[in-house]
Amino acid sequence: MDTAAGPVADVAGRGRLVLAATPIGNPGDASLRLREHLAAADVVAAEDTRRLHRLCAALGVAPAGRVLSYHEHNEVARTPALVQEVAGGATVLLVTDAGMPSVSDPGYRLVHACAEAGLLVTALPGPSAALTALALSGLPSDRFAFEGFPPRKPGQRERALHELAAERRTLVFFESPHRTAATLAAMVAAFGAARPAALCRELTKTYEEVVRAPLGELARWAGQREVRGEVCLVVAGAEEGAGVEELDEAELVARVLERVGAGERLKEAVREVARRHGAVARELYDAAAAAQRASRAGAGAAPRG
């Protein structure tokens, strides 16, 4: 069973990995503890060292330890060396460009590796774009799901969103500005134009903006302008019973075979269609397999299961 240690200062002489939340826009949101650790850590691993130095300049601190880059392109190679630093007694401070490391940012691999090695991992809490957007959205915040960035490819994005159509928790997404309009249009197709939502951009910055409207209106709004800045999309969860389309057996089988034709295995296709439409998976599998055999009349091929 994992156990958490007390405050970092109370574990003298022991190496540790410290995950540090950085401002998501306004440097004034930096915590006192972040300033202290930037000035004292033995190693500062930063997603972008140039941004780190700009942040330090804004905060009036100078890293005393070694500064190195740690981003999605080198984290696999650099993780073992950082684990060794912690194992040797060093304090390694991990920062990303904004917000908490490992939340849609580098960090997970290093945390996992340190935990597996029995090393101390702690955090400096702070700004979070996902939680800030959720709080500002005006949508229910008692239960929510953070979905990160939707897939970039249109087909994968549409499939991922359709799988969330019946999710009753509020959904929080990150998105790049140049894909925001296309993602909102895909959300309209998956969730319906009337689903309440909020587009939050440039949070905590000078031009912060929160646009609250049904998805259809948000999609039109984004399609009529150049969306700029860091974007969070918050979408209300489905109402009870929403997102479950009742189909007869022939229609369900057709949906399954369509997914199989696109390359999905029969079992997975049946499982997903049954989940989405409230069908009995075993019965649907038998019907789909029979339909598959019939379509291959005389071929003697077994269904891909």
User: pLDDT digits over 100-157, tens only?
Assistant: 999 989 999 999 999 999 999 999 999 999 999 999 999 999 999 999 999 999 889 9
Determine the pLDDT at residue 9.
41
Arithmetic mean of pLDDT, 281-298:
86
User: pLDDT digits over 243-260, tens only?
Assistant: 556 678 888 899 899 888
Average pLDDT in the chain: 90
Tokens 């200062």 sit at which residue? 9
- Of 243 and 212, the structure prediction assigns the larger pLDDT to 212
Determine the pLDDT at residue 271.
84
Determine the pLDDT at residue 243.
53
Determine the pLDDT at residue 305.
55
Task: Indicate whether 7 pLDDT > 50.
Answer: no
Contact between residue 255 and residue 273 where contact means Cβ atoms under 8 Å apart = yes
The Cα 231–Cα 270 span in angstroms is 35
Question: What are φ and ψ of residue 76, in 5° steps?
Answer: -65, -45
User: pLDDT digits over 31-64, tens only?
Assistant: 999 999 999 999 999 999 999 999 999 999 999 9
β-strand partners of 18: 93, 122
The Cα 247–Cα 232 span in angstroms is 34
DSSP secondary structure letters along 98-109: SB-TTSSSTTHH
Predicted confidence band at 273 (pLDDT cuts at 50, 70, 90)? confident
β-strand partners of 43: 66, 92
Where does residue 109 rank: exposed (0-12), middle (13-18), buried (19+ CB within 10 A)?
middle
Worst-scoring range by mean pLDDT, 89-98, 211-220, 266-275, 285-294?
266-275
